[in-house]
């Protein structure tokens, strides 16, 4: 056990170990109720949505739209459209740490530079491990989402736009209901609603699994 501790915190394994410590610390905070399980999802969506808004403002011909679609397809391939980011990162970082410890031990590597090179194939293999490992959680979160739709009436609730939407483009919003945050797919009846705007949920398209929203303005 002591040898494993020294190996884990050696220079060649420091990066995977630091990532693992971060994940463990995060889940401890979740257990204690200090952070929400979807805390990091907002940052990812905002970054992605910023790219979409910049592309729209720049009015670039098709290429940027295709690149965003390509990114979305990759995220969907690794189930990141169905599970929280930190769940996926947990199943990515854990095999990365194990592979790093074993690889550097078996090869007798003591070079930090060489360990960085090893991280490239390590990361690829860990991605391929993480995808099937998260399948049970895809089903769990899918059931939770269905239960939310069946037991909670989101119509009339006010929330915030996370990914901009229009009557043609699907986006995402977040609403607070009974003390819990819910992420929902959204479209507008007409026009465009931007990231950061307040929204009012006015209808639910059950067949298409998204909600119709409109901008919500309050008088301060």
**pLDDT, tens digit, for every residue of 18-53?**
999 999 999 998 888 776 666 665 434 434 444 444
| pLDDT on residue 10 | 93
Taking the C-alpha atoms of residue 188 and residue 49, their distance in angstroms, rounded to an integer, is 17
Q: Give the C-alpha distances (Å, rounded to integers) separating 66 from 52, 69, 112, 164, 172.
A: 11, 5, 38, 17, 19
| pLDDT on residue 103 | 95
pTM, full prediction: 0.58
Taking the C-alpha atoms of residue 115 and residue 120, their distance in angstroms, rounded to an integer, is 9
Task: Give the model confidence (pLDDT) of 190-206 as tens digits.
Answer: 889 988 899 999 988 76
* Structure tokens, 45: 């969506």
* HSE-up (13 A, CA, CB side) for residue 93: 19
């Amino acid at each position: 056990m002591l040898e494993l501790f020294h190996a884990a915190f050696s220079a060649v394994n420091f990066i995977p170990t630091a990532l693992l410590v971060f994940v463990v610390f995060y889940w401890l905070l979740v257990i204690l109720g200090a952070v929400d399980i979807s805390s990091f999802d907002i940052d990812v969506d905002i970054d992605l949505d910023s790219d979409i808004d910049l592309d729209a403002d720049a009015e670039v011909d098709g290429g940027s739209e295709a690149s965003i679609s390509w990114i979305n397809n990759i995220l969907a391939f690794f189930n990141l459209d169905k599970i929280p980011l930190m769940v996926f990162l947990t199943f990515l970082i854990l095999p990365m740490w194990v592979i790093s410890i074993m690889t550097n031990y078996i090869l007798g590597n003591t070079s930090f530079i060489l360990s960085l090179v090893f991280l490239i194939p390590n990361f690829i293999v860990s991605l391929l491990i993480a995808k099937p490992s998260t399948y049970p959680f895809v089903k769990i979160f899918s059931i939770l989402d269905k239960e939310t739709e069946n037991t909670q009436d989101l119509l009339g609730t006010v929330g915030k736009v996370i990914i901009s939407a229009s009557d043609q483009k699907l986006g995402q919003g977040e609403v607070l209901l009974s003390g819990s945050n819910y992420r929902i797919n959204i479209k507008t009846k007409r026009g465009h609603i931007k990231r950061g705007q307040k929204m009012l949920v006015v209808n639910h398209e059950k067949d298409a699994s998204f909600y119709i929203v409109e901008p919500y303005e309050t008088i301060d």
